[in-house]
Structure 1
Amino acid sequence: MLAALLVLVVLVVAAGAGLYMRAGRQLQHTAALGDYPGRPAPGRGTNWLLVGSDSRSELTRQQRRELHVGNNDVRNTDTIMVLHSGDHGPTLVSLPRDSYVPIPGHGSRKINEAYADGGPKLLTRTVEQATGLRIDRYAEVNFLGFVRIVDALEGVRLCLDKPLVDEKSGADFPAGCRRMNGTQALAFVRARYADPEGDLGRVKRQRQLLGAVADRMAGSDVYLDPSRLTRVMDASLAALTVDDRAGVGQLLDMGWSMKRIAGGGGAAATVPVRQPGVMVAGAGSVLRWDESGAKRLFLALRNDDPIPTSADK
């Protein structure tokens, strides 16, 4: 889902000063960062917290039916990633939504519940406390916004090695390659119950979708069509919310890092997991991190060192 961020920044760079100024006027902000006792000190480089929220209040009845979601406006996060940029190139680390971590003031729970309990600020604090990283910037994309971005691109091409059928997400795709619209792409990236890897499999599809949107954006039919260019940029800005101090300039820096990763010029990893699918009373099936592996990974990011090769996947 975070591919929408890449769409925004590449469009702004390609279109020049006019769209840059337009983007600045439309950019939405939220209070996502704040000081508190025991907050991690700043490390080397810049850390973005990238979030895909599953707010569904603006979905149409047909979209709800196709995505198999109810009418309740839940406030969880299907996608949580940390993007680190520094001297050794960008690194994108996925934090599975079922990660079992302490949420300040709420005990240990799934990490995505921090957003439901206290919005962006509590989620940011939870990630900082769990990783030891200072989060410098925050960016969020919502359900409906993501659908509109892919539709503005007139779909993205996605390939599957085997069929993907998941009744709860609405995914029903045969093996092979196909062009997916926004609703289909969201069903593809949300599927996890029919995947033997569960939440870890969904993380891989999130990265696959990121690459697919980046490829679509690189097409001349987007860059050289002013009308489509504007539609995609407006859809991206409507879907995107950033922290109070982030502007278009910061988004450009972040976007180039995302572009490098999508092109194979950076590193992508998932936090090491010790026990996937562990049942915990009151929390359901959770993922427990490999504490030593996670500590090495986040220490490398904090010091702006290359991440351990065992985590790069």
Structure 2
Amino acid sequence: MRGPGPPRRRWAWLVWLLVALLVLVVAVVAVGAWLYASAGRQLRHMDALGDYPGRPSAGKGTNWLLIGSDSRTGLTPRQRRDLHVGNNDVRNTDTIMVLHYGDHGPTLVSLPRDSYVPIPGHGNRKINEAFADGGPQLLTRTVEQATGLRIDHYAEVNFLGFVRVVDAVEGVRLCLDKPLRDERSGADFPAGCRRMNGTQALAYVRARYADPEGDLGRVKRQRQLLGAVADEMASPDILLDPTRLQRVLDASLAALRVDDGTDLARVLDMGWSMKQIAGGEGSATTVPVLRPGVMVSGVGSVLRWDGTAASRLFQALRADDRIPTSDTK
């Protein structure tokens, strides 16, 4: 009777296949757990959020304030030269964004650094001056009062950290519709697609003086670059290579500081939402403005928000509704 033989061999082969798969899964989970624990220990915190009289109450969904700091600390002389920055270690910010996610797809809203808003205790100024005058807590309070949104989490990345993250993913691919040359940022790129290293990517995203859209053009490049970095970090080449994944995690966590109440799970939620936006599953826009380049005595050239349109945008985010369409992208 030869019938029973082959079925038993097929059954034994299936058992060994399942065992092999189980060992593989356990190994992946073990590596993942080790990386997760290691990342949790490296996560750096700061005092960025605080209560104050009149603070907006919590709405629906989750709101992050994402900041790109101008800090030059740690840049080499060559990096300073390539980026056209001096030796002074200023406390400023070029990038201010609100990330919202809830029941709908995530939404990323850029707040141009020249936005003319009330800064508590300082009168109406450019929004980035809140960071220079009072650090993360004053900037967070300024954003909350200007938007009516309660900020749940805060994340900040500085110059050097950003350069190292882009280099850790071995550069990002960016496409330019037309040449971009800005002596003050160090940007000098022809039209077309190219892979940029960290220093080049930072010069690209900081350029604004040669851009006819000024600060509005810069915030579009900021979102483009964030999407490119998120795409690289979520690629199989990195996720399936523990050595590269560890290198990217180390660079990212060294570049990042978050508020005291944020843990690694929340950071991963934020990263996943950024990946969704990069993949077209969410929305990215700029707060609606009336017109750019308005001169204000003692302040300089500012951007005034379109109060009605901006209010509709932030009310939609507060209610976790889909945002209204806008001409400002």
Residue 23 of structure 1 aligns to a residue in which SS? Answer: helix
What does 1:137-216 correspond to in 2, within 5 Å? 137-216=153-232
Q: Map Cα deviations across residues 137-195 of structure 1 (whole Å, 9 max, x no partner).
A: 10111100000011111111111111000000000001111111000000000000000
User: Offset at 1:296?
Assistant: 0.5
User: Offset at 1:14?
Assistant: 11
**1:85–1:202 distance in 2 versus 1, CA, 3 Å:** same
Residue 246 of structure 1 aligns to a residue in which SS? Answer: coil
**How far apart in 2 are the matches of 1:133 and 1:179?**
37
**How far apart in 2 are the matches of 1:15 and 1:88?**
32
**1:125–1:67 distance in 2 versus 1, CA, 3 Å:** same
Q: Answer yes or no: is the 8 Å Cα contact 1:93–1:271 preserved in 2.
A: yes
Which residue, 36, 49, 70 being the options, matches 2:52? 36
**1:146–1:14 distance in 2 versus 1, CA, 3 Å:** farther
**How far apart in 2 are the matches of 1:14 and 1:281?**
60
Q: Answer yes or no: is the 8 Å Cα contact 1:268–1:312 preserved in 2.
A: no
1:77 paired to 2:87: no
1:276 paired to 2:311: no
Question: Greater CA deviation, 303-312 or 91-100?
Answer: 303-312
**How far apart in 1 are the matches of 2:102 and 2:236?**
30
Letter matched to residue 276 of structure 1:
P
**1:124–1:212 distance in 2 versus 1, CA, 3 Å:** same
Structure 2: any 5+ residue segments left out of the alignment? 1-28
**1:311–1:83 distance in 2 versus 1, CA, 3 Å:** farther
1:112 paired to 2:128: yes
Q: Answer yes or no: is the 8 Å Cα contact 1:270–1:311 preserved in 2.
A: no
Letter matched to residue 213 of structure 2:
E
**How far apart in 2 are the matches of 1:140 and 1:224?**
27
**How far apart in 1 are the matches of 2:154 and 2:67?**
8
Structure 1: any 5+ residue segments left out of the alignment? 1-12
**How far apart in 2 are the matches of 1:165 and 1:32?**
36
What is the aligned residue count?
Answer: 301
**How far apart in 2 are the matches of 1:17 and 1:311?**
44
Which residue, 59, 79, 83 being the options, matches 1:63? 79
Q: Answer yes or no: is the 8 Å Cα contact 2:234–2:275 preserved in 1.
A: no
**How far apart in 2 are the matches of 1:219 and 1:133?**
33
Tell me the equivalent position of 2:256: 240
**How far apart in 1 are the matches of 2:75 and 2:50?**
31
Q: Does 1 or 2 have the higher relative contact order (CA < 8 Å, sep 6+)?
A: 1
Question: Greater CA deviation, 217-226 or 116-125?
Answer: 217-226
Residue 169 of structure 1 aligns to a residue in which SS? Answer: coil
The normalised TM-score by structure 1 is 0.93
Percent identity of equivalent pairs: 80
Q: Answer yes or no: is the 8 Å Cα contact 1:297–1:311 preserved in 2.
A: no
Tell me the equivalent position of 2:64: 48
Q: Map Cα deviations across residues 5-31 of structure 1 (whole Å, 9 max, x no partner).
A: xxxxxxxx9962111101110000001
Q: Answer yes or no: is the 8 Å Cα contact 1:97–1:112 preserved in 2.
A: yes
**How far apart in 2 are the matches of 1:79 and 1:171?**
17
Q: Map Cα deviations across residues 257-285 of structure 1 (whole Å, 9 max, x no partner).
A: 11111111111110000021111112111
Letter matched to residue 190 of structure 2:
P
Q: Answer yes or no: is the 8 Å Cα contact 2:206–2:218 preserved in 1.
A: yes
Tell me the equivalent position of 1:307: 323
**1:163–1:311 distance in 2 versus 1, CA, 3 Å:** closer
Residue 89 of structure 2 aligns to a residue in which SS? Answer: coil
Task: Name the larger-Rg structure.
Answer: 2
Which residue, 286, 299, 304 being the options, matches 1:288? 304
**1:252–1:15 distance in 2 versus 1, CA, 3 Å:** farther
Q: Answer yes or no: is the 8 Å Cα contact 2:230–2:275 preserved in 1.
A: yes
Tell me the equivalent position of 1:101: 117
Tell me the equivalent position of 1:89: 105
- Runs (4 or more) in structure 1 with deviation over 3 Å come to none
What does 1:1-40 correspond to in 2, within 5 Å? 16-40=32-56
